[in-house]
Amino acid sequence: MYEFKYHRPSTVRQAANLLAKHEDAKLIAGGHTLVPVMKQRLAAPSDIIDLSHIEGVDGIEIKGRSLVIGALAKHADVASSPTVAEAIPALAELAGLIGDPAVRHKGTIGGSLANNDPTADYPAAVMALGATIVTNKRKLKPEEFFQGLFTTALESDEIITKVSFPLPKKAAYQKFRNQASRYALVGVFVARLPSGVRVTVTGAGQDGVFRVEAFEEALKKRFLPKALDGIDVSPDGLNSDLHGSAEYRAHLIGVLAKRAVDAANNRA
Amino acid sequence: MAKVSMIVNGNPVAKNIDPRTLLVQFLREELRLTGTHVGCDTSQCGACVVHLDGKAVKACTTLAVMADGHEVKTIEGLAADGAPLHPMQEAFREHHGLQCGFCTPGMIMTAIDIVHRKGHDLEDHVIREELEGNLCRCTGYQNIVASIAAGAKAMENSDLA
């Protein structure tokens, strides 16, 4: 790990100021992405701004018809929260599938979204549920927030403070894990919302999370696994590696989407 | 340099360290608590698991400065010198839960965390799922799972958490 200066702000505003002042600064929350990358010397931030001591940004609560999760909420907190289990059980299950128990005790929802790893789980839920990503400066819709591989709309002094999830009628997440890394080889999140149906895929796309509009249209008419019969996903733009070809991933998307619809129906 | 102070195994410690210091380095090299091991160094194997404020974390992926002001418990903190072993340690001894022993401290710290979250009656499949973040290079999982099930039960009637 290269040398860096360490800062510990106690408010989001202080953190944003530090971020604006130091060009090569990086935020750290749980550190479970940044620390490994720094250890491999793939990143050499001049300054590390530790968000973990900022209070009041890790709460989980229902506000109106939304579930609001603070950016510093840990995966383990979301997975075990009775509020989440009641409001959006699919989200609690998704959080419980991230990493392993010790990783879930440190990793945060804000960190996961800001990093936008193409195999991360949270982006699928955020985009499928049409959640709003709230920062110290503005509110962002998933379609504008996620901008491809490890890329987001966040500006250089912008910090995610919370995520607001509208409550779906039904939702489920199905993850097919890479047997070695346990990351999503393909993950599919299906949500039936008052406004329609959204189907998102993580792990498979070369540009990160994406929607499958053909599935959404079919499921809008009939929210049943059978509705997806005969609709193929194109392998174009999907990842291909030693764990699975693009064609294999395309096929898995269909299989997992059906399972997710089934799971969502069986829960309600 | 950054000043850190924390409670380690019940004792307050304060040191000036390079902010790059990982929690596992701090424990092993500054405090000479070498029970916490470094296996893979990439957050996968769990040999470095310690408790931070009572929760299992990977000490190889946590900066020591991030533990400032917090409470850390390592394998050395489970039972005092000369005192009887913690029930989970005793269960690992009794059920041959260790082969080479390298992963054992992390396994035991994870096991206790499982009991804190999942209770004293643990089914095998639950233990196996929960052990996802701990690797045994001897692949001795059968006895590790048996040890954790027995240790979890024994912890119910013990003062040691």
C-alpha–C-alpha distance, residues A50 and A25, integer Å? 11
Q: How confident is the model at residue B159 (pLDDT cuts 50, 70, 90)?
A: confident
Q: B61 vs chain A: nearest CA distance in angstroms?
A: 6
Which residues, other chains included, contact B112 with Cβ-Cβ below 8 Å and sequence gap of 6+? B51, B56, B78, B86, B88, B151, B155, B161
* For residues B67-95, average pLDDT: 95
* Contact flag B20-A3 (C-beta cutoff 8 Å): yes
Contact pairs from chain A to chain B, CB under 8 Å: 75
* For residues B59-71, average pLDDT: 97
- Give residue B81's pLDDT: 84
Q: Which residues of A touch B26 (CB under 8 A)?
A: none
* Contact flag A101-B56 (C-beta cutoff 8 Å): yes
Which H/E stretch holds residue B13?
strand B11-17
Which residues, other chains included, contact A226 with Cβ-Cβ below 8 Å and sequence gap of 6+? none
Instruction: Single out the residue of A179, A186, A169 nearest to residue A267, CA to CA.
Output: A169
Count Cβ atoms below 10 Å from residue A5 Cβ, excluding itself: 14
A249, A239 contact by CB (below 8 A) = yes
The b-or-e profile of B42-56 (16+ CB within 10 A means b, else e) is ebbbbbbbbbbeebb
> Among partner residues A6, A32, A39, which is closest to B65 by beta-carbon distance?
A6
pLDDT(B161) > 70: no
- Greater pLDDT, B82 or A239: A239
* Contact flag A4-B19 (C-beta cutoff 8 Å): yes
* Contact flag B19-A5 (C-beta cutoff 8 Å): yes
C-alpha–C-alpha distance, residues A128 and A264, integer Å? 13
* For residues B144-152, average pLDDT: 98
C-alpha–C-alpha distance, residues B68 and B63, integer Å? 9
Q: A100 vs chain B: nearest CA distance in angstroms?
A: 5
The b-or-e profile of B95-132 (16+ CB within 10 A means b, else e) is bebbeeebbbbbbbbbbbbbbeebeeebeeebbeebbb
Instruction: Single out the residue of A165, A176, A264 nearest to residue A219, CA to CA.
Output: A264
Q: How confident is the model at residue B106 (pLDDT cuts 50, 70, 90)?
A: very high
pLDDT(B82) > 90: no
Per-residue pLDDT of chain A (268 residues; tens, 9 = 90+): 999 999 999 999 999 999 999 999 999 999 999 999 999 999 999 999 999 999 999 999 999 999 999 999 999 999 999 999 999 999 999 999 999 999 999 999 999 999 999 999 999 999 999 999 999 999 999 999 999 999 999 999 999 999 999 999 999 999 999 988 889 999 999 999 999 999 999 999 999 999 999 999 999 999 999 999 999 999 999 999 999 999 999 999 999 999 999 999 998 6
Q: Which residues of B touch A27 (CB under 8 A)?
A: none
- Residue reference for tokens 């992963």: B103
Count Cβ atoms below 10 Å from residue A155 Cβ, excluding itself: 12
B91, B151 contact by CB (below 8 A) = yes
A135 phi, psi to nearest 5 deg: -115, 180
Q: How confident is the model at residue B80 (pLDDT cuts 50, 70, 90)?
A: confident
Model-level pTM? 0.95
The SS3 of residue B48 is coil
How far from A139 is each of A72, A144, B115, CA to CA, in Å?
17, 10, 40
* For residues B82-87, average pLDDT: 92
pLDDT(B48) > 90: yes
Count Cβ atoms below 10 Å from residue A229 Cβ, excluding itself: 10
> From the candidates B53, B61, B68, B148, which should be mutated to test the interface with A, based on the most A CB atoms within 10 A?
B61
pLDDT(B160) > 90: no
Torsion of CA A77, A81, A85, A87, to 10 degrees: -100
- Give residue A267's pLDDT: 84
The SS3 of residue A20 is helix
